Chain A
């Protein structure tokens, strides 16, 4: 969006909504099954979508019964770094990775 490329005039809501969304996000990190908080987060993200606070957190199908953002594996973990389902990129048949089906 052009708004994100060119710094435009901002109003109070431009700061207030992302701040509220972010605070709720921090709460949901430790209370991932709090339905009231999940519903409120969803409401705030519908009022102002595409903010830094909403980014990457909403499930594509819009389901809202759990805070999936915290689910593993996290990027620094071994399991998160498979490409095309494979962690080992060698094709050697006697490699331990191949034997383990990884």
Chain B
């Protein structure tokens, strides 16, 4: 392999879907109970049960545990246990087939509408909206009334009623997948639209279909029972759980067991299917699997063997001492950054440079305990802000430092600014969190800050929403928020990567001026040597979680010591160099290839 950044990461052991499902106790219980019920229902013909349809008037309404009738008999003297198991079989078959039908037609509508867009989408979706506009049970009753009562017609009715649910869900997912580049790529590979829909899009939508199905089966069984209860589903003598309930209703007070038993069965069945469905959804949804929806702790977990000194004499604005952070996957801690040390003085700018995966962002986030925990753990080292070790502080004190003494500027302000609040309010909020000033005072200062960061006509722009501003202006707002509480240190994580070069130049100039005027210590994280050359006094080069070289920017760029730095710098094309660049870098990769 020729990519030099390709370190050999250890194959992380992912738990299989089955293991994940079993780890969820409720889902596992649901699965086993459901499995037990299904087996009982399937085995109904071979179990030693009396015929469920044979009436025996003299023995009507026997209580449970009567001779020969474990669960008693109903108003016609039929054995309830036998009817329960046969009825469960009917309910399951109807519920599952209705789900399958709804899933097939609903998904088909959703797929076609989402993929075709335009007029097809409008027509199909308005049809679906029409189905949704009727109360579902009324619609089902109307369908059954038109087709005539009967189990099969009830099944159709329930399937039709549930089509919108699938269609809407699947359309949404399809729309997002349709815009992915691999769909365009498949078209350029010569695939026809139907082929793309069924061989490229469908496999990516399938997990969503399965999840939706697993969460609807229970609901479908309930609806079948509902229709049968009303006498529109199963017709005598066949019965499902719903019709058992309906027929026993008249004797509710004289023989409650006849209605309570099928009621309990419906409850247990639906509950265990829902638990199982939730479990399946959790397993198949990648966001849940990665733990992204777990609530992170307010600060990164700190687990250091030795505690560093609480204060440091004569310390510059920021000192990082042998900091190590890793990710805990439950079994072992995989280190992400190791033994990072650097110092940053007032008014100074340090560039932290490295390729993707080198640990620069983890370093930046570790400083204020912002690495998400779980899985992040700070395993060693200390961070000194103004000579005080901050990772030993109490949680509230550390949180108070964030945005106060130490402020962050992130890569994409569109994702860090709240889309529904005016930018002025957001800057004012940043002030109010740390200082108790009046609202109007905070707003006045917000406008001032916007002027400081070079937003023209700040007073009126303060009432703009983030999406109304250009990328460069948004990043200026991000910087204004960072400046809100007069910080000593600004940590800027790829602040210009998402911007055009002409805008980048202006943002870098702004950061430079702020640094000079306010004596800010600036930690600039970037992958771009050009940016470092332009802005930073000193630079630290990171590779695989370690700083391999650190020094004055000019010296490092002119005369890099470490092989990795040499190679990185050599790979940066210089403007004006033209095609000579490729001839220059070719020898670097020749030995790697052979």
A-B complex is real? no
